[in-house]
Chains A and B, each alone.
Chain A
Amino acid sequence: MFKPIRLIPDNPNINFLKLRWPAITMSSILVLISIVLCFAPGLNFGIDFKGGLVIEAKFQTAPDVAELRTELNTLNLGQITLQQVGADASDVMFRIPQQPGGDAGNQTAIAAIRAHFTDRVSEYRRIEAVGPQVGGELIKTSLYAVLLSIGGTLAYLWFRFDRGFSIAAITALIHDVALTLGFFAIFHLDFDLSTVAAVLLISGYSLNDTVVVFDRIREDMRKYKSKSFLEIAHIALNETLFRTMMTSGTTLLVLISLFVFGGEVIRNFTIALIFGILVGTYSSIFVATPVWLLLEKREKK
């Protein structure tokens, strides 16, 4: 069998930490911008949280979207957004806001749409209706899940590492989650249940990456007793670089395959993950480690 090919040389000796101040500055600014973006223009919450309807209809002949819009206005269902989905122009997605009549109002809207297009739509590929009460509950449970997940991993880190490592890892995690939210806000992507799942995964992944680097730093601290923390961090980052690239690389390959071939339904979810993995890889090198250095320096005084 052939010899393995090293895509990254041993001990690449890249001085990542030289860039730690610009990186921290840039990241802080991006986090601030992201937080602002989450409030103005704000996240584009999908029906899972806001309530309302999403209907994907396959028409027998591709409809004219502008005509469809005027036609739908006669049904009085509020501000409807239309979008052609898939390769086929005959697939149209309707987004209908939460109806004034609550749950019953949403059901009436479905019946109205079905009745109106009865001989023109060959199949309803998807109909989703979420009432205001369910939406409110989903917001609550999602928030609990995120807090539970972050709290759980924080507890685990505290137990495995000391305080400096834990705070640095959590800082990187918050950075990744904030940037992902900002990304969703700026591109106006649908923020729904699967996005929450993606955010949770990103936080898991972010920690993953950071933990491997920190694990190595801790080991090298015992190995090179006379070296400074900065030198040790430099060595550890370079030692784990291949693994970091390999893991991010394989995960990204899989995600890109999901993005290209996985279909419309989970596209938002994969976009969130791809962005999150890229940010997570960046942050374990340029955020977590520098923050740890910052904290340790102060504690030494």
Chain B
Amino acid sequence: MPRWKIWLILAITLLGAIYAAPNLLPNNLFQQLPSWWPNQTVNLGLDLQGGAQLLMKVEVEKALGDYYEGLTDSVRREFREANIGYRDLAARADGLSLTVRDTARMNDAKAKLHKLDPNLNIAESDGKITVKLSDVGLKQRRDQAMEQSIEIVRRRIDETGTKEPVIARQGTDRIILQLPGVDNPERIKQILGKTAKLSFHMVDLEAAPDSLVAPLGDQRLPMQEDPTKFLAVKQSSLITGDMLRDARTSFDQNGQPVVSFEFDAIGARRFSDVTTQNVGKPFAIVLDDKIISAPVIREPITGGAGQISGHFDTQGANDLSLLLRAGALPAPLTIIEERTVGPTLGADSILAGRNASLIGMGLVSVLVIISYALWGLFAVAALFANMIFIFAVMSLFQATLTLPGIAGMVLTIGMAVDANVLIFERIREEYLNGRTPLAAIDAGYARAMSAVVDTNLTAFISALALMSFGVGPVRGFAVTLVIGVITSLFSAVWLTRLMLMTWFSATRPKHLPFLKTSS
């Protein structure tokens, strides 16, 4: 074995031990490590440390519908300014359509639309214009809705005081939320279950309160406390939730919990204008298409602050102010998968995983040492080194260890032993066929390599396939398996060889410790 190779093997082994140490040392020893020592440890999966994982679907189509809805307002304004006559303006979930009255103005109309959003595909037939977002525009809108949703989810979770949440996008329209240590995510689900779109509308006093159809330009909305009661309010909103600067729970003179809010500059000015012009009239505070309350404006409110009183309990007022502070979601979220693990199951699993691996390794060690004596001891040493390498690589890449991951680690023991068995059997055979000990060792390693590489490669291919569809805990399993196959190749081939060669040069044996059994 060339000198550089020996040093390389030793260097890799040392590095492995250094990186794995923070995981394997007891806590009080870990504290005493010098500061240059790498301090990353393996992340424990939620199935081991306990916690909740929610997979949520963002109803992006809803956000697109809102976008087209908003576009109709802009179209009304722009076309009125430019004096373009139109009718049948309507927004749907996937587009917007209108008919231009004077076909001579068709090109002006298209130009206006294009100016509103250059990412619109505008099609025309018989004076009717259909507008849809182009693929680029769609992707932009979707991405924007996803980014906003993730940001709002993050703010809301932060407001609840949950520690170290993981919030990440998954695929085109999903958000994965991991909450370590949370074993009852019901409140968090409640908080994420609302889009929290707040708006202020004037109440239409002329509309008959019992009429089922709202007059043109109005919206018939249910009351929060009693969904069988409805009020007709103006469709266009005066002020929206994004103009709020702060919201807190406080108590009114009767000791009832209320939500106090403050507007930003724009909101304050508008609120002041609206309340000055409409003294004596009611306005509606609308949250997610339900009217929380509809108070009468007694006097102009110019201070830029106000109160929402809606027969809340303290929890309800706290939740609403939290939602208003964190902002509205661009689209509703649906929980499509939930996995929650309580703290005792997590602790049980860690203990079970540890016991199973230690006992498994013990049993294997006994069998290997019985079969190969001193050489078996080398193989067992390589096995333990392999465990250390797996921990080192996982710490280095900050991989997550799950219970199936522990199973994967334990299974790589089998793979590692297999490589050593193939090699030792080959050496034995070469030796019994009359080679000298040294030649037998060399030939054994060389000739066993083909089978060792074959077995490891086939295992590697199935592990990669597992990783490619890696969902949840199964991915954890595949990750440790992939790492384990690679590290076991190093420990079972290189490391044992180094040990064998060191033993050989130290003792210079005339015979290898193999008995010839009779057949």
Q: Which residues of A contact B (CB under 8 A)?
A: 1-7, 9-13, 56, 58, 103-104, 106-107, 110-111, 114, 123-131, 133-134, 138, 141-142, 144-146, 148-149, 152-153, 156, 160, 193-194, 196-197, 200-201, 203-205, 207-208, 211-212, 215-216, 239, 242-243, 246-247, 249-251, 253-255, 257-258, 260-263, 265-266, 269-270, 273
Complex interface: chain B residues within 8 A of A134 (CB): 55, 336-337
Does B477 reach chain A (CB closer than 8 Å)?
yes
Within 8 A of A (CB), among B349-376: 349, 352-353, 355-357, 359-361, 363-364, 367-368, 370-376
Given contacts A4-B513, A262-B352, 15 further A-B pairs with CB under 8 A are A3-B513, A4-B370, A4-B371, A4-B515, A114-B186, A125-B341, A126-B345, A127-B340, A142-B469, A149-B465, A197-B404, A211-B451, A215-B451, A239-B429, A262-B353
How many whole Å from A160's CB to the nearest CB in chain B?
7
Do the beta carbons of A208 and B459 come within 8 Å of each other? yes
> Could you list some 16 contacts between A and B, CB below 8 A?
A13-B519, A107-B189, A124-B183, A128-B338, A129-B337, A193-B473, A200-B462, A201-B481, A204-B458, A243-B421, A246-B421, A250-B417, A255-B360, A265-B345, A269-B404, A270-B407
The list of the 7 closest CB pairs from A to B, nearest first, reads A204-B462, A263-B352, A149-B465, A257-B360, A251-B414, A254-B360, A125-B345
Do the beta carbons of B422 and A266 come within 8 Å of each other? no
Do the beta carbons of B515 and A153 come within 8 Å of each other? no
Closest to A155 in B: B461
How many whole Å from B56's CB to the nearest CB in chain A?
9
Given A133-B336, A242-B425, decide whether A250 and B414 contact each other with a Cβ distance below 8 A. yes
**How many residues on chain B are close to A (CB under 8 Å)?**
85
Docked Cα-Cα span, A214 to B407, in Å, equals: 29
Do the beta carbons of B462 and A254 come within 8 Å of each other? no
Do the beta carbons of A145 and B469 come within 8 Å of each other? yes
Complex interface: chain B residues within 8 A of A255 (CB): 360, 411
Do the beta carbons of B340 and A148 come within 8 Å of each other? no
Does B130 reach chain A (CB closer than 8 Å)?
no
Complex interface: chain B residues within 8 A of A216 (CB): 451
Docked Cα-Cα span, A197 to B465, in Å, equals: 10
Closest to A169 in B: B458
Docked Cα-Cα span, A56 to B422, in Å, equals: 44
The 8 Å CB contact of B469, one of A141, A203, A242, A253, is A141
Do the beta carbons of B337 and A204 come within 8 Å of each other? no
Within 8 A of A (CB), among B314-365: 334-345, 348-349, 352-353, 355-357, 359-361, 363-364
Do the beta carbons of B367 and A250 come within 8 Å of each other? yes
Complex interface: chain B residues within 8 A of A128 (CB): 338-340
Determine chain A's interface SS by DSSP, over half rule.
helix
Closest to B519 in A: A11
Docked Cα-Cα span, A88 to B313, in Å, equals: 40
Within 8 A of A (CB), among B412-428: 413-414, 417-418, 421-422, 425
Docked Cα-Cα span, A247 to B423, in Å, equals: 13
The 8 Å CB contact of A249, one of B367, B374, B455, is B367
How many whole Å from B373's CB to the nearest CB in chain A?
4
Docked Cα-Cα span, A262 to B496, in Å, equals: 29
Does B103 reach chain A (CB closer than 8 Å)?
no
